[in-house]
Chain A
Amino acid sequence: MRLLVFALGFGFLLAVPFLTQSIGQPALLTLASRILIYAIAAASLNFILGYGGMVSFGHAAFFGIGAYTVGILFAHHSSAEPLFGLIPGSNQMLITLPAAVLVAGLFAGLIGALSLRTGGVQFIMITLAFAQMLFFFFVSLTPYGAEDGIIIRRTNELFGLNMRDKTVLYYVILAIALVFFLALWRVVNSSFGAVLKGMRQNERRMAAIGFAPYRYKLFAFVLAGMGAGLAGALMANFLRFASPDMMHWTKSGELMIMVILGGVGSFFGPIFGAAAFLILETFLAGWSEHWPLALGLILLVVVMGTKGGISGLFDRFGGRGK
């Protein structure tokens, strides 16, 4: 039964380019690509937030770092000058994506190692502070466009595919998203995932039975940072642009909104949440320039009035409610 639902869902995602073509709305393909990318970012946040109970308010920082890694590597590729005199630039997606994931992971390791010494309100604020620091760092980074951001003139190359074609790019993003979610599925359902969920429920008890919380949480934080970095790298390829705005604190807020709209701690929630948020944003923005007002009201109602977001709703209709 569950497999069938997955197959149907994946079949739908495969068919999206044909659907948008046949109803004459090619712009919707762009929306679908953005949904997939944000779903990766939101799922990585959900991993620490929903499963690990760590309310990180600076997750967009890793998204931005992933994007900037792609941007900076591309800039050095086109100027043919190595970064710091030794790292050559690149426009190969097989190099830039892992590089972005790695760099985001490094930053997450650093930020997480410091932030996880605190907890509660202080953790929320210190992650926010680190994200703001990076934001201001990139705003002042004049060699790479400062606050205007950095333009990536051409999407990265991959196996000689025509990446300028929106449909091809969509399938590339879909394939990467599929790999990401499969990997995430393995992690969430591993013994590591079980320990993490235990930490959220009762950290002291987990410590008492012999799991050092700090190490587990830090590892989860790094994994989440890498996921966001991957999403950021894809976004940079998709927009052919990276800018400090990608790591502004409101972006972190948006990622949190996606997580809560979809349902905190549900595996597929972030996909629904990202879809709901971006579709709402697109249509409300087309309807009125005051769309944040409507978005704010909807968000308020969802937060105050519902439990479990969109996937919670599905569960209830499916008779699996608590």
Chain B
Amino acid sequence: MVLALASVVALILLSIFVVIFFESRESISRYGLNFLITSAWNPVTDEYGAFTAIYGTLLTSFASLLIAVPLGVGTAIFITEDFVNKKIRNFISVMVELLAAIPSVVLGLWAIFILEPFLRPIFQLIHKFLGWIPFFSTSPIGPGIAPAIIILVVMILPIITSISKDSLNQVPQRLRQASYGIGATRWTTIFNVIIPAAISGITGGVLLALGRAMGETMAVTMIIGNSNSFSWSIFSPGYTISAMLANQFGEADGTQVSSLMYAALILMILSLLVNIFAQWAVKKLSLKY
């Protein structure tokens, strides 16, 4: 009986794959792997390619990791070291965890009306001085990839911080004392003893955050501008796979549905790979004391 209930998990996971694959087979047989490298999206002529969306998904998720990892691990170190008294550290820890409880659609609303108008002058400054770099080559005029990256940072920060905090806390106290005992300073100890000992948990957290960033839908859809024309610049509007699904699924039919399913399949495979890799990394990297 309970065996059957437990099997439901496996069944759901399996049927998600089967159903999405089944629904996308028309598009798969029609476009094959070309779907991954073309960026046409035209319901009138039935031409579909997901390159812009895949590029957007990978760019936004990796760029947000680049910012969120140092920020999150730094915060986790602050919470686990005794720089200030425990009350303040607990307060910060709870605050960061509450951030995870804010639904992404509310963050999207905030991003549209508060964050993006606030960031635009800063982006314009970057464009003015660094415009010769392809990534900053267009003038920021509103929703785009850059504000989407920032809102993703806000969304994945709690994951990285709380998981890093937990794994830093689990490092045995005697490792730290031994390090202090041979004359290491606090930060030498953190960099050479504490972080290496906690690296498996931190890596797992970072990979979970990557998976979350790839699949994140609402906040990104609301702020990324939803344009399928490809551009290198992070100030121009773009697309992610999940934003494309959220935008078009309701009104699509025929080959378009099948193509969207194909895109969903790619997203599913990406997040599955990241998740499996995360679980593997936690096992592989964990140090035995």
A binds B: no
A interface residues (Cβ-Cβ under 8 A, vs B): none
